[in-house]
Structure 1
Amino acid sequence: MPEKPPSPEHLRAKPGRKASENAVPSSVQVLDRSLKLLDLVASGDGAALTDLSDQSGMAPSTVHRLLTALAGHGMVTHDTETGAWTIGLKAFEIGNAFLRFRKLGTISRPFLKQLMEHSGETANIGIEDGGDVVFISQVESHAPMRAFFRPGRRGPIHASGIGKAILSTWETAAIERLLSRQPLTRFTGKTRDTLPRLLSDIETIRSRGWSIDDEEHTLGMRCLAAPIFNEYGEAIAGISISGPAVRLPDGTLAALGPVVKAAADGVTQAMGGRREDSQKHSA
């Protein structure tokens, strides 16, 4: 167990500091000050509390209180021998996630453009987050009638081409654990709104290598998607094309499916990832 940071009982503000600095700040002020401290800690190789107080202009007791709260969330850590505060593991994990998805967005861009040009339809990249799909990048079709997904938009994982593509790489038991806790909302008559229907579809996706959203979220819109893997063989995202059903009949879907899968494999390879073809999906 890590030792607790030193008590603030004997920490005093330097002469000349305003009493208002020690007043209870609003939640927005607390967040603003905490982020300022986090930035100061991250910019050095270890900072003493008094140095952070001087650099931030906050009283030592205020700095200590905020650092202790940040330490409780793993954002900073305290070395009891040197007294230095350094960046914590959780902050590293958050920063690493940003770099990973920024890398994904940058690397995937040429693949999205190629997919859009080849298919004539909007190409997308999305990730799974908390049982949803979050769209992070897109290259729009030039057609007057086209699909559009604003970056940051969330969608239901069970009624999304990308969502089902990612789920197809999970073990069946993991899918059941996730989706048994939430209703499978019915958006159209084609939505896989029960677990047996969805799992049956996912079995087909596993054998085929790509997923189809057949007007399951929006009537008149279809989507093809395939999973993107990291270096551990884990599906971290999916790439897709989406467009009006009238431009994506069954024959076109069958022809474009391997193209979307090849694009997903290309992004995987470009990121240094690897596809786990031998994954076990049984419960």
Structure 2
Amino acid sequence: MMEVKAKRGRKAGENAAPASVQVLDRSLVLLSIVAEADGSTLTALSDKTGMATSTVHRLLTSLSAHGMVINDSDTGLWTIGLRAFEIGNAFLRNRKVGIISRPFLKRLMEESGETANIGIEDDGNVVFISQMESHAPMRAFFRPGRRGPIHASGIGKAILSTWSDTEIGQLLSGRTLEKFTDKTGDTLPALLRDIQEIRRRGWSLDDEEHTVGMRCVAAPIFNEYGETIAGISISGPSVRVTDERVAVFGPMVRDSADRLTSAMGGKRPEEL
């Protein structure tokens, strides 16, 4: 009798796998774009993603069902949802600096009269994760989650100052250092010269290098292994953050960074 062998076919649903991955990928891209704005229309999201309006609406409806985005029926604008916020907070819980830093930010803001910030490095950028705003009418503001260029940021340069020149070169290799103002250090040699000075004094200065009229003084924060995990800073308009105040803010920020490092069980490397 001839033996009939069962055919080795794909399991049910395997053909749909690539399509499912594409839907997930598109949804995540769309979610990121929604998160970047304070409100986006369906048409604007379609233009930014290059997807058909009907596709964008279908994805948004699915994301909305999971609480990831919400729609204002009066304006038609789509914004980030509560569930996405909760998921983002899970990241901050794991990065305990976001929680432990709050009293340090408050004290730094009160002592300086300027906005205090916490930021981390991610893929060659600075990501702001927490802030304590100044009470002054004119003040710096960095929305949590906002990314900034590492070479034109007080926190970015403070973090880079704890890396070797070789590591900095490897990070920035092949990248164009954008020139935002006349004061931006837009070449690796210029940045490394600035880094040398930051290492000497223990704190960094963004001297209107990203935004004309704004200054930022920052220092690095370390974990228990002496590795840099974040930076803390004071930011404010240059009319208030004068050279005289920068000289005061520098040691103030470094001291706050050291105290926050200790509160987290971290330690400053002996060579710094």
Provide the TM-score with structure 2 as the length reference: 0.69
**Which residue is 1:202 aligned to?**
195
Unaligned runs of 5+ in 2: 1-7, 26-88
| Equivalent of 1:24 in 10, 13, 16 | 16
How big is the shift at 1:277? 2.9
1:11, 1:159 → 2: CA distance?
53
Task: Report 1:1-283 matches (<5 A).
Answer: 24=16, 26-27=19-20, 31=24, 99-101=93-95, 103-278=96-271
- SS for the counterpart of 2:216 is strand
How big is the shift at 1:22? 6.9
Q: Please list the CA deviations of residues 150-190 of structure 1 after superposition, one character each: whole Å capped at 9, or x if unmatched.
A: 00000000000000000000011000111122011000000
Question: Contact (CA 8 Å) 2:180, 2:209: kept in 1 or not?
Answer: yes
Q: Please list the CA deviations of residues 66-118 of structure 1 after superposition, one character each: whole Å capped at 9, or x if unmatched.
A: xxxxxxxxxxxxxxxxxxxxxxxxxxxxx9965432x1111000000001001
How big is the shift at 1:11? 10
Change in Cα spacing, 1:143 to 1:234, as seen in structure 2 (3 Å) is same
How big is the shift at 1:27? 2.5
**Which residue is 1:59 aligned to?**
none
2:149, 2:238 → 1: CA distance?
20
How big is the shift at 1:278? 1.2
Cα-Cα RMSD: 2.4
1:29, 1:174 → 2: CA distance?
35
Change in Cα spacing, 1:22 to 1:166, as seen in structure 2 (3 Å) is closer
- SS for the counterpart of 1:247 is coil
Question: Contact (CA 8 Å) 2:184, 2:210: kept in 1 or not?
Answer: yes
2:154, 2:188 → 1: CA distance?
16
Change in Cα spacing, 1:131 to 1:10, as seen in structure 2 (3 Å) is same
1:213, 1:247 → 2: CA distance?
14
Change in Cα spacing, 1:261 to 1:271, as seen in structure 2 (3 Å) is same
Q: Please list the CA deviations of residues 197-223 of structure 1 after superposition, one character each: whole Å capped at 9, or x if unmatched.
A: 110110000010000000000000000
1:97, 1:115 → 2: CA distance?
24
Provide the TM-score with structure 1 as the length reference: 0.66
Change in Cα spacing, 1:98 to 1:118, as seen in structure 2 (3 Å) is closer
What amino acid sits opposite 1:125 in the alignment? I
Change in Cα spacing, 1:22 to 1:256, as seen in structure 2 (3 Å) is closer
2:146, 2:22 → 1: CA distance?
29
1:122, 1:257 → 2: CA distance?
14
- SS for the counterpart of 1:232 is coil
Question: Contact (CA 8 Å) 2:92, 2:98: kept in 1 or not?
Answer: no
1:272, 1:204 → 2: CA distance?
27
What amino acid sits opposite 2:182 in the alignment? G
Q: Please list the CA deviations of residues 46-80 of structure 1 after superposition, one character each: whole Å capped at 9, or x if unmatched.
A: xxxxxxxxxxxxxxxxxxxxxxxxxxxxxxxxxxx
What amino acid sits opposite 2:117 in the alignment? N
1:240, 1:203 → 2: CA distance?
19
User: Whose radius of gyration is greater, 1 or 2?
Assistant: 1
